[in-house]
Structure 1
Amino acid sequence: MNARRAIQIFFVIAGLALLTGCSEKVSVDETSLVAGQRDEVYGKHEISAKGSLSESQPAEAINFGITPWDEPEKLKRMYAPFIAHLSERLKLRVRFVVAQEYNDLVADLKRGIIHIAAFSPGAYSDALDQGIEREAVYVASTQDSGNSHYRGLVISRPQYKSLKELKGKTFAFVEKGSSSGYKFPLALLLQKGIDPYRYFSKVFYLGSHAHVVEAVANGKADAGATWDGYAEKTPAYRDKKIATLFKTQPIPYDAILVYRKKGPQFARKVQQHLLSIDTKTTTASGEKVLNKELGFPYTGYVVHKPQVYDVVRQTSRLVKNYKPPKE
């Protein structure tokens, strides 16, 4: 979409602690940081604004963007300590941006609206195909408990034991930019001779992994595509409201890129910061930076060789060649 869209945003101020349950608004001499709109300040520690980003916005903050793999408010909570610590270390204000759609992050990074971007592997593959190396440099990838890969899942209601039983039922994907929520499960279905548009009675695109899991758990969809690191930690999985039918091949975790025009020194500083943090790292106020209790899915960062993402690019190209029937 060419018109700028509404994006969930929040600010963290360097040197200040995180918001700790205080909801009282106080005044602050901070104005017009986003689309000319005044910031809203909650307590003393968090600045939040709603509006559309503009290329002409004042350069008073570094913009850290991610793909929308979960609900924006959930992402905001889980990333709050991470962004606070990044702000402390860079000694800069950091604005957290959740892209409305996966591919929006590519456009925003190329235009310099986003300065640091955490790409899901599918979105990173799309970015590489669009020549993102000209505008951004790779600095690190996420990992979880020493594992650099995760898997996509096809989940279903527990009464379904096989794909054969799902013929004529409904199926939910995340969106077409998602690796585990679309590309890898679709590739696996195609390899099994299943065209989802012809095999299932209805195919949905629900926008986030949370929506897919909720839809299947609540019976609004019979099956869906998501990722193991999310689905297997949900109450729906623990309560056996959803079950795993099969898993995809391993998928490398998210890639972190830095806008080239911020300069090589800035990119190195971001990389050094990411590689230095682990599950024991805390903010100045004592909160865990990588906090699993808040839902943060990773335990650290690592640098990969470019070839690690080849499997994602190959799968993305396979999926791009698939032409769904016109509805």
Structure 2
Amino acid sequence: MRSARPNVGLTLAVNDSDQVRDLVSGAVPVQGADLTCLLMEVEEIFFRFTKFREWDVSEMSFGKFCSLRGRGDDSLIGIPVFLSRSFRHSGMFVRHDGPVDRPDQLAGKRIGIPEWTVTATVYQRALLQHQYGLELEDITWVQGGINEPGRVETLPTGLPDGVTVTPERTRSLNQLMLDGDLDAMLVPHPPAAFEDHSGRIVQLFSDSRSTEQAFFHETGIFPIMHLVVVQERVHRAHPWLAANLVTAFTEAKDRSVRRLLSPTAPQFPLPWGAEHARDAERIIGRDMWPYGLEPNRTTIAAFLRFTFEQGLTPRELSPEELFPESVHSSHVI
């Protein structure tokens, strides 16, 4: 039976990924809502939504959201849908003659970051601090664009005592590395001099996959990069919407995972794709890309500790503070 009442019209901006494919196409509906979907690169989504709030529901940087929430900005409501996750040892780079596999040798060095609040760099700084014993205040931090100069901090942010960040506007981090003016960079996107296979810039960890798997086995942390947020005015007008969005996003993601695991007629142009997916399932667990608060509590709590330690939030938030109570748990049949 179809309701005679019209659905709520919503605009949604997300990156174009397989886990949202069935939501964007309408194959998986959001009960009670009609979506107008905008597919864009995440950098554009984050910049425009953080600055201008042009749509109702958005993919968003986990770090930027926590920074806003920690400073008392309740204009956005998080839902525990995590569209992007990535282990970030593989996003730490040095020159070819740098301290490969020796992260402790970065103490006292100059390290580049795109922004202090970029989620990947929060995890990477925490790795240097907690896994390898570096003190953040002993590093000279340089902020700038990865491959193009001129990037600025999207949000104002605090810094821990003793930590300074120097903005660089005339050269990219990639160029600074090649010029010998940076010793390392922590980034979500590889620098051009790594992607060109010239060997001038290399990963800090020569076997980053094994390093990342060992980190997961030790800590249980599967780093969350992006979540979905709803404008508070929309949530206030339609408090039922958050749980319905979680349900729809979860069904779309589950369909994507089933496609990934199916060997019958591969839907991704990756040799041995299903076997790779089974390997990930054995390492991470049967739900290898979990949504929801409880399955992700270890990762969320760790990240909130990191954001407090690094000055993104003035106090350590609890995981429950990020999401409305209606999505803290779900019904079980």
Question: TM-score, normalization: structure 1?
Answer: 0.51
2:302 is matched with which residue: 311, 319, 326? 311
1:122 Cα offset (Å): 1.5
Instruction: Between the two structures, name the one with larger relative contact order (CA 8 Å, sep ≥ 6).
Output: 2
* Residue equivalent to 2:95: 157
**Taking structure 1 as reference, are residues 264 and 178 closer, same or farther at Cα in structure 2, changes over 3 Å only?**
same
Amino acid across the alignment from 2:12: N
1:184 is matched with which residue: 94, 99, 123? 123
Structure 1 gaps, min length 5: 1-58, 66-74, 283-287, 323-327
Bigger proportion of residues as strand: 1
Contact 1:216 1:242 in 2 (8 A): no
**Taking structure 1 as reference, are residues 131 and 104 closer, same or farther at Cα in structure 2, changes over 3 Å only?**
farther
Does residue 1:255 correspond to 2:230, yes or no?
no
2:203 is matched with which residue: 239, 243, 249? 243
* Residue equivalent to 1:175: 115
2:35 is matched with which residue: 92, 107, 116? 92
1:105 Cα offset (Å): 4.0
Distance 1:279 1:190 in 2: 34
1:302 Cα offset (Å): 1.8
Q: How does 1:36-185 map to 2 (within 5 A)?
A: 62-64=11-13, 78-79=16-17, 82=20, 85-88=23-26, 89-90=28-29, 91-96=34-39, 98=42, 105=49, 113-131=54-72, 135-142=76-83, 150-152=87-89, 153-161=91-99, 162-163=102-103, 170-181=110-121, 183-185=122-124
Q: Percent identity?
A: 10
Question: TM-score, normalization: structure 2?
Answer: 0.50
Distance 1:292 1:124 in 2: 34
Contact 1:155 1:223 in 2 (8 A): yes
Structure 2 gaps, min length 5: 1-7, 152-170, 206-210, 261-265, 271-279, 281-287, 314-333
1:320 Cα offset (Å): 0.9
**CA deviation profile, 1:18-48 (whole Å, cap 9, x unmatched):** xxxxxxxxxxxxxxxxxxxxxxxxxxxxxxx
Aligned length: 229
* Residue equivalent to 1:12: none
**Taking structure 1 as reference, are residues 237 and 225 closer, same or farther at Cα in structure 2, changes over 3 Å only?**
farther
**Taking structure 1 as reference, are residues 99 and 83 closer, same or farther at Cα in structure 2, changes over 3 Å only?**
farther
Distance 1:255 1:292 in 2: 26
Contact 1:125 1:312 in 2 (8 A): no
Bigger proportion of residues as helix: 2
Distance 2:302 2:311 in 1: 14
1:159 Cα offset (Å): 1.8
**Taking structure 1 as reference, are residues 83 and 101 closer, same or farther at Cα in structure 2, changes over 3 Å only?**
closer
* Residue equivalent to 1:269: 244
